[in-house]
Amino acid sequence: MFSGARDKLQGLYWKTERLITPGLRFSQQYYEDELQKLVSSHTRWLDLGCGHQVLPPWRLEAERELVGRAGQVIGIDPDVYSIGMHRTIQDVRVGTSEHLPFPDCSFDLITANMVVEHLPEPRTSFREVGRVLRPGGTFLFHTPNIRGHMIALARWFPDWVKRGAARLLEGRSTQDVYPTHYLCNSEESIRKVTCGSDMELIRLLYVPSSAAFGVILPVAVFELLWIRATMKDSMASYRANIIVTLKRANGEKNSPYVG
């Protein structure tokens, strides 16, 4: 019953979104676009905090194609229950980003989709990522923006409230909600954390996303009005999420693009 009512409310939300913010895309779509550019038959790919999926549930076929395209894909996550249900990656390992069980220069691509905000020691994790990336390899991650409105709200509430909100607003199991630290969610903090990791910032992209309060339509209307304001270039730094591209140094210097 709850699921059916939620689906109806979500349908009303999509109509409202198209009316108030035409052209708005879910941030996961931007992440998928960036990922598609990086995966080829020669790619050795590690997905950090892989959980049970690479892309959102409704992108299963795209995820299968993407994982199948890569030369090698390994997923790693500390949650045994979660990786046991992974829907596309066959080679999944139990472990943490602070101690990656791989030799130096093992991967061409490392990704983290909504994981970096949960890292308690991002500097250690980034050094490990830099170690197992080959020279010129890419670390791509998607995470909330510290200046986004949802982080501002989330900081006011304890984890038990966030778990309940995730179930109500997103239909997520409380087992899929983990503590957040937000230690690497701005350009400034990323530059600090990257120091000593042998990686450099290549691109930081500010992306908007659909309203988090979609199933509570009166609240969603106000949220969408704010999101519409952030879609202007002058307000880009207040968009909900960021997608970051880092590269392991290969002797060449690059100028980071921020947009």
Residue 11 is assigned to a structural domain of this protein: yes
- Three-state DSSP at 109 gives strand
Residue 257, in any domain of the structure = no
Residue 121's pLDDT is 95
pLDDT bin (cut points 50, 70, 90) of residue 237 is very high
Q: Convert the pLDDT of each residue in 20-61 to its tens digit.
A: 999 999 999 999 999 999 999 999 999 999 999 999 999 999
Domain count, the chain: 1
Q: Give the N- to C-terminal CA distance of the chain in Å, as an integer.
A: 43
Whole-angstrom Cα distance, residue 179 to residue 162? 9
The residues, ordered by sequence, that sit 6+ positions from 149 with a Cβ below 8 Å of its Cβ are 223, 226, 238, 240
Domain-located, residue 171: yes
Q: Look up the domain containing 103 and give its range.
A: 2-248
Please indicate, yes or no, if residue 35 is contained in any of the structural domains: yes
More confident site: 164 or 53: 53
Output the pTM of the full model: 0.89
Domain-embedded: residue 254: no
Cβ neighbors of 156 (< 8 A, separation 6 or more) are none
Measured CA to CA in angstroms, residue 165 lies from 103, 157, 208, 248 at distances of 40, 10, 20, 37
- The residue written with tokens 């999944």 in the block is 92
Cβ 115 vs Cβ 179: under 8 Å: no
| Residue 194, domain member (yes or no) | yes
Q: With 50 as the cut, is the pLDDT of residue 199 above it?
A: yes
Residue 17 lies in a domain: yes
Percent of the chain at pLDDT exceeding 90: 75
71 occurs within a structural domain: yes
Q: What's the whole-number mean pLDDT along residues 220-224?
A: 96
Residue 133's CATH number: 3.40.50.150
